[in-house]
Amino acid sequence: MRLGVLDVGSNTVHLLVVDAHPGARPLPAHSHKAELRLAELLDADGAIGAEGIDTLVGVIAGAAQAAEDKGCEAVLAFATSAVREAGNADEVLARVREETGIDLQVLSGAEEARLTFLAVRRWFGWSAGKLLVLDIGGGSLEVAFGIDEEPDAAVSLPLGAGRLTAGWLPGDPADPADVRALRRHARAQIARTVREFARFGAPDHVVATSKTFKQLARIAGAARSTEGLYIQRGLTHKSLEEWVPRLAAMTVEERASLPGVSEGRAGQLLAGALVAEAAMDLFRVDELEICPWALREGIILRRLDHLP
């Protein structure tokens, strides 16, 4: 069957069309993406403004049309932290439903973490042992740990790269005092969760997903995406420590010239790097591996698991 997965995230609205059936690897057939940066469009009251809603509705309508054009039997549509935390989330969801016919499911942070964990587990298999999974999105950081397909612990923290950039790093290049303040904030938030995970012991394998980690791995020397899904890509704590001060000293334009860094994400890369460094340090991770599957694949796999 052909499925569409519509991911309304804090940075992008992304439609992934896949050919899938139970017991087989979902095969990507089409990708339709638009950058919105919803996490940066919240007003002082935490609501998505009228212009932002209009833009979101238009983008979702375009994605729904693309899914129809590609022959999708169903569209699994979900929203994450930017919509979840918006003060006018109900209004946004109602407008989307009325004008596009798409009924967005709003995932909790814990659900995001669990579904991403499922995707990572399926990618690496049982031989990976106990997994620690880190995922930095535009609005939040998800952390999950476990030995089965359902994690033993899963948390979501408001430490997304887009959210933190908008709230903490207004300068270009960033003011050193702002960088230090964000570093303290991120570490304090993550440190509160460490004990919850430590009681399960050390992981056998540490994995990261998301554009932020992929870009950090790429600038640290990982293989290009054009070299394929099955090339092992990793990131070491040591290389990240070396890159953070370099990123902090760069302008957004300079970061955009780095290998694998898109112009649209260059502004968020420093905040993402500070969160990644904090997480690797506080969870005592020397090295992690990048997984090509994440939340969207987790949504697909869960749907396939529940087919009759």
Share of the chain above pLDDT 90, in %: 84
**pLDDT per position as a tens digit, 70-88:** 999 999 999 998 899 899 9
**Banded model confidence at residue 186, pLDDT cuts 50, 70, 90:** very high
Whole-angstrom distance, CA of residue 251 vs CA of residue 269: 11
What does the DSSP assignment read for 89-151? HHHHHHHHHHHH---PEEPPHHHHHHHHHHHHHHHH-GGG-SEEEEEE-SS-EEEEEESSSS-
- 96, 93, 95, 94: which is closest to 84 by C-alpha? 93
Asked whether the beta carbons of 157 and 141 are under 8 A apart, the reply is: yes
Can you give the pLDDT at residue 76?
Answer: 96
**Banded model confidence at residue 23, pLDDT cuts 50, 70, 90:** confident
The domains of the chain, with CATH numbers, are: 2-106 (3.30.420.40), 109-295 (3.30.420.150)
Residues 241-265: what's their mean pLDDT? 96
Whole-angstrom distance, CA of residue 106 vs CA of residue 109: 10
Can you give the pLDDT at residue 142?
Answer: 98
**pLDDT per position as a tens digit, 95-124:** 999 999 999 999 999 999 999 999 999 999
Can you give the pLDDT at residue 123?
Answer: 97
Spacing of C-alpha 101 from chain mean position: 25
In the sheet where 105-106 sits, what is the strand order? Answer: 27-35, 12-19, 2-8, 74-79, 105-106
β-pairing, 105-106 vs 153-157, is: unpaired
pLDDT tops 90 at residue 160: yes
Asked whether the beta carbons of 182 and 267 are under 8 A apart, the reply is: no
Can you give the pLDDT at residue 82?
Answer: 87
Residues 260-271: what's their mean pLDDT? 94
